[in-house]
Amino acid sequence: MDIVETERTRHRRLREQGSHDREDLLAILRQGFVAHLGVTVDGVPMVLPTVFGLDPAGDVVYFHGSVASRSMLAGPETTVCLTVTHVDGLVLARSVFEHGVNYRSAMLYGVPRPVTDDAEKLAGLRVLTEHITPGQWDYVRQPSRKELAATALLALSTVEASVKIRTGPPTDADGPDGDLRVWAGVRPVAPAWGPLVADPELGAGIAVPDHLRAEPHIR
């Protein structure tokens, strides 16, 4: 499914950082699990952090959204913006004006679809869970009917998307500040997972499962 360019996704500023490559979009989504959802609720704009999961085909993002679901029911044609961002480094230039950030960002636009069918909701929650921690869905207890009914899940297409990526060093070496005797370069950001911390109420003799011993795929 190709990315469709619209007025909302057209790159107007810093076009050299823009991308319409579907693989760039999918890489950003696959490497994250927290998104920020921009939605209007009761006439007021809100930006909400939420976890998400990308379906294996890369066509749909599933995410939790109780507040957003309420808005969808009030206005079924409400468009939202779901944003995923990775910060890769601070770009430290020779002047404050030229400072920046190396980043990868994807913005998805569309009208989310509340998932009401139990079978799809179960499948969507599996996608979300396995996206974050592969192997966890089959390891733990799965949702009961009551829990399933109490869970708000939304589905959003990945068709209408805007991707921007900034890499590399500062760009002021060839300008008037290039001769300044100040250090310039990039301070990389490298997210890392810490060691597992067991629940203090965990029963004796319960070992860490193999899928949690593996190196996490999300960074």
Domain presence at residue 2: no
Domain presence at residue 203: no
Dist. CA 193–CA 167, nearest whole Å: 23
Mean pLDDT for all residues in the chain: 89
Are the C-beta atoms of residues 82 and 156 closer than 8 Å to each other?
yes
Domain presence at residue 141: yes
On the question of pLDDT at 208 being above 60, the answer is: yes
Domain presence at residue 55: yes
Domain presence at residue 117: yes
Bridge partners (DSSP) listed for residue 41: 44
Q: What is the domain-level CATH number for residue 28?
A: 2.30.110.10
Domain presence at residue 113: yes
Name the residue type at position 81. C
Dist. CA 149–CA 122, nearest whole Å: 10
Structural domains in the chain (count): 1
Domain presence at residue 160: yes
Average pLDDT rounded to a whole number, residues 106-133:
94
Query: pTM of the prediction?
Result: 0.88
* Residue 69 lies in domain: 15-188
Give the model confidence (pLDDT) of 78-91 as tens digits. Answer: 889 999 999 999 99
Domain presence at residue 212: no
Give the model confidence (pLDDT) of 145-181 as tens digits. Answer: 999 988 999 999 999 999 999 999 999 999 999 999 9
